[in-house]
Chain A
Amino acid sequence: MGHGGGGALSAELVEHLFAPAYGNDLLAGLADSTALTLAGTRLAFSTDSYVVRPLFFPGGSIGDLAVNGTVNDLAMSGARAAYLSCAFILEEGTDLSVVGRIAQAVGAAAVAAGVSIATGDTKVVDAGHGDGVFINTSGIGLIPHGVDIRPQRATPGDLVIVSGPIGMHGVAIMSVREGLEFGVEVTSDTAPLGGLVDAMLDVTPDLHTLRDPTRGGVATALNEIAAASGTGVLLHEHAVPVPEPVAGACGFLGLDPLYVANEGRLLAFVPRSHADAVLAAMRAHPLGAQAAVIGECVTEHPGMVVARTRFGGTRVVDLPLGEQLPRIC
Chain B
Amino acid sequence: MTVAGVVQGVGFRPFVHALAGELCLSGHVTNCAGGVVAEIEGARDSVEAFCARVATHAPPPAAVASVTYEEVPALGTAGFAIRPSENGGGPGGRTLLPPDTAMCAACSAELADPADRRYRHPFITCSHCGPRFTIVTALPYDRATTTMAGFPLCAACAREYADPADRRFHAQPLACHDCGPTLYLSGPPKPTGTADATDTAATAGTAGTTGTTSTADATATSDATDATDATDATSTTSTTATIGATGTIGATGTTGAAAIAEARRLLTAGAILAVKGIGGYHLACDAANARAVAALRERKQRGRRPFAVMAADLGTAEQLAPVSPAEAELLTGPCRPIVLLRRAAQPKTAQPKTAQPKTAQPQAHPPPALLADGVCPGSPDIGVMLPYAPLHQLLFGLPGDPPGPRVLVMTSANVSGEPILTDDERAHAVLPGLADAWLWHDRPIQVPCDDSVVRVRADGTSVPLRRSRGYAPLPLPLPLSLPVTAPPSLAVGGDLKNTICVAEGRTAWLSAHIGDMDSVATLEAAGTAARHLASLTSVRPGVLAADRHPAYRSTRWAHRHAEGRPVHMVQHHHAHIASAMADNGLDGTEPVIGLAFDGTGYGDDGAVWGGEVLLADYSGYRRLAHLAYVPLPGGDAAVRNPYRMALSHLRAAGIDRDPGLPPVATCPDGERRLVERQLERGLACVPTSSMGRLFDAVSSLAGICHRISYEAQAAIELEAAAAPAMTGCGPAYAFRLTPAPQGSSCELLDPAPVLEAVVADLRAAAPTAVIAARFHHAVADAALAVCRSAARRTGIGSVALSGGVFGNVLLEEACTQRLLAASFTVLRHRNVPCGDGGLALGQIVVAAHRAPT
Contacts of B552 in A (CB 8 A): 327
Q: Quick check: is B325 within 8 A (CB to CB) of the other chain? A: no
Given the known A-B contacts A311-B415, A314-B519, A316-B523, are A329 and B804 also in contact in the complex, defined by CB atoms under 8 Å? yes
Q: Is the C-beta of A198 less than 8 angstroms from some C-beta in chain B? A: no
Additional A-B contacts beyond A253-B684, A306-B520, A312-B230 (14; CB < 8 A): A181-B673, A253-B634, A253-B678, A301-B520, A309-B416, A312-B430, A314-B417, A318-B556, A327-B495, A327-B600, A328-B496, A329-B495, A329-B598, A329-B600
Cα separation A236 to B430 with both chains bound (whole Å): 17
Complex alpha-carbon distance, A308 and B230, angstroms: 7
User: Would A327 and B228 count as touching, CB distance under 8 A?
Assistant: no
CA distance A252 to B683 in the complex (A): 11
- Chain A interface (Cβ < 8 Å from any Cβ of B): 8, 174, 178-183, 236, 251-255, 300-301, 304, 306, 308-309, 311-316, 318, 321, 323-329
Question: Considering the chains assembled together, what is the distance between the CA atoms of A326 and B640 in angstroms?
Answer: 11
**A174, A312, A318: which contacts B415 (Cβ < 8 A)?**
A312
Is the CB–CB distance between A252 and B637 below 8 Å? yes
Are B635's CB and A326's CB within 8 A? yes
| Residues from chain A with Cβ under 8 Å of B520 in the complex | 300-301, 304, 306, 314, 316
**B residues less than 8 Å from A316 (CB atoms):** 518-520, 523, 553
Given A253-B678, A329-B711, also A314-B521 (CB < 8 A): yes
- Chain B residues lying within 8 Å of A325, measured Cβ to Cβ, are 549, 551, 602, 608, 635, 686
Docked CA distance A180–B677 (Å):
7
B38 at the interface (CB under 8 A from A): no
- Size of the chain B interface, CB-CB below 8 angstroms: 57
Bound complex: CA A13 to CA B804 (Å)? 37
Contacts of A252 in B (CB 8 A): 634, 637, 671, 674-675, 678
List, in ascending order, chain A residues with CB within 8 A of B521's CB.
313-314
Selected A-B contacts with CB under 8 Å, 18 pairs: A179-B681, A182-B674, A252-B634, A255-B684, A309-B417, A311-B415, A312-B230, A312-B433, A313-B415, A318-B551, A318-B553, A324-B636, A325-B551, A326-B635, A326-B686, A327-B636, A328-B496, A329-B599
CB distance from B837 to the nearest CB of A (A): 10
Q: How far is the CB of B577 from chain A (nearest CB, A)?
A: 15
B550 contacts the other chain (Cβ, under 8 Å)? yes
Q: Bound state CA distance, A285 and B636, in angstroms?
A: 38
Give residues 804-853 of B contacting A (CB, 8 Å). 804, 835-836
Residues on B with beta carbons closer than 8 Å to the beta carbon of A183: 670
Q: Which residues of A contact B98 (CB under 8 A)?
A: none
CB <8 Å contact, A313 and B674: no
Contact B229 A312 (CB under 8 A): yes
State in angstroms the CA–CA spacing of A236 and B233 once bound together.
13
Within 8 A of A (CB), among B634-649: 634-640
Write out the residue numbers on chain B whose beta carbons fall within 8 Å of the beta carbon of A174: 683
Chain A residues with CB below 8 A from B640, complex form? 328
Which chain A residue lies CB-closest to B600? A329
CB of B301 within 8 A of chain A?
Answer: yes
User: Quick one: closest B residue to A239, CB to CB?
Assistant: B231
Give the chain B neighbours of A326 by CB distance below 8 A.
600, 608, 632, 635-636, 638-639, 686
User: Residues 620-664 of chain B: 1 if any A CB is under 8 Å from the residue's CB, otherwise 0?
Assistant: 000000000000111111111000000000000000000000000
Residue B110 lies at the interface, judged by CB distance under 8 Å to chain A? no
Contact between A313 and B711 (Cβ–Cβ < 8 Å)? no
Per-residue contact bits, chain B 406-420, to A (CB 8 Å; 1 contact, 0 not): 000000000111100
Indicate whether B601 reaches chain A with its CB closer than 8 angstroms: yes
Which B523-570 residues have C-beta < 8 A from chain A?
A: 523, 549-553, 556
Residues of chain A with a CB closer than 8 A to B633's CB: 254
Residues of A within 8 A of B836 (CB): 329
Give CA–CA (A323, B549) in the complex, Å: 12
A-side contacts of B494, CB under 8 Å? 329
CB of B103 to closest CB in A, whole Å: 33
Residues of chain A contacted by B804 (CB below 8 angstroms): 329
Residue from B418, B519, B635, B835 in contact with A329 in the complex, judged by beta carbons closer than 8 Å: B835
Whether, in the assembled complex, B591 has its beta carbon less than 8 Å from a beta carbon of chain A, the answer is no
Across-interface contacts of B549 in A (CB, < 8 A): 325, 327
* Chain A, residue nearest B494 (CB): A329
Q: Is the CB of A254 within 8 A of B674?
A: no
Interface residues of B in 758-800 (CB under 8 A from A): none
Please, which residue of chain A has its CB at the minimum distance from the CB of B640? A328
| CA of A236 to CA of B232, assembled, Å | 12
Pair A254/B636 contact, Cβ less than 8 Å:
yes
Complex Cα–Cα for A255 and B518 (A): 16
- Which of A255, A301, A328 is most buried by chain B, counting CB atoms within 10 A of its CB? A328
Residues of A within 8 A of B231 (CB): 236
B692 is an interface residue with CB less than 8 A from chain A: yes
**CB-based closest 9 A-B pairs:** A254-B634, A254-B637, A312-B228, A254-B635, A311-B416, A313-B417, A308-B230, A326-B635, A329-B599
When distances are taken between beta carbons in the complex, the residues of chain B under 8 Å from A306 are: 520
Cβ distance B196 to chain A, nearest Cβ, rounded Å: 14
Residues of chain A with a CB closer than 8 A to B674's CB = 180-182, 252-253
| Bound: A247/B445 CA distance, A | 41
The chain A residue sitting closest to B230, CB to CB, is: A308
Cβ contact within 8 Å between B551 and A236 = no
Smallest CB gap from A306: residue in B: B520
Q: How far is the CB of A306 from chain B (nearest CB, A)?
A: 5
CA distance A309 to B549 in the complex (A): 24
Q: Which of B519, B632, B681 has most chain A Cβ within 10 Å? A: B519
Partner of A251, one of B497, B551, B598, B637: B637
B residues less than 8 Å from A328 (CB atoms) = 496, 599-600, 636, 639-640, 711
A308 to B417, CA, bound (A): 11
User: Which residues from B are CB-within-8-Å of A301?
Assistant: 520
What A residues does B550 contact at CB under 8 A? 8, 321
Tell me, rounded to whole Å, the shortest Cβ–Cβ distance linking B536 to chain A: 26
Contacting residues, chain A, for B681 (C-beta < 8 A): 178-179
User: What CA separation (Å) do A318 and B804 show in the bound complex?
Assistant: 26
CA distance A308 to B602 in the complex (A): 27
Instruction: Report the Cα distance A313→B518, complex, angstroms.
Output: 10
Bound: A314/B515 CA distance, A? 13
What distance in Å separates the Cβ of A218 from its nearest Cβ neighbour in chain B? 18
Which residues of B lie under 8 Å from residue A253 when comparing CB positions?
Answer: 634, 637, 674, 678, 683-684
Residues of B within 8 A of A327 (CB): 495-496, 549, 551-552, 600, 636
Give the CA-CA distance A323 to B550 in the complex, in Å.
Answer: 11
Minimum CB distance partner of A310 in chain B: B229
A178's partner among B598, B670, B683 (CB-CB below 8 A) is: B683
CA distance A251 to B670 in the complex (A): 13
Contacts of A324 in B (CB 8 A): 635-636, 684
A251 to B641, CA, bound (A): 11
Write the chain B residue with the least CB distance to A253.
Answer: B684
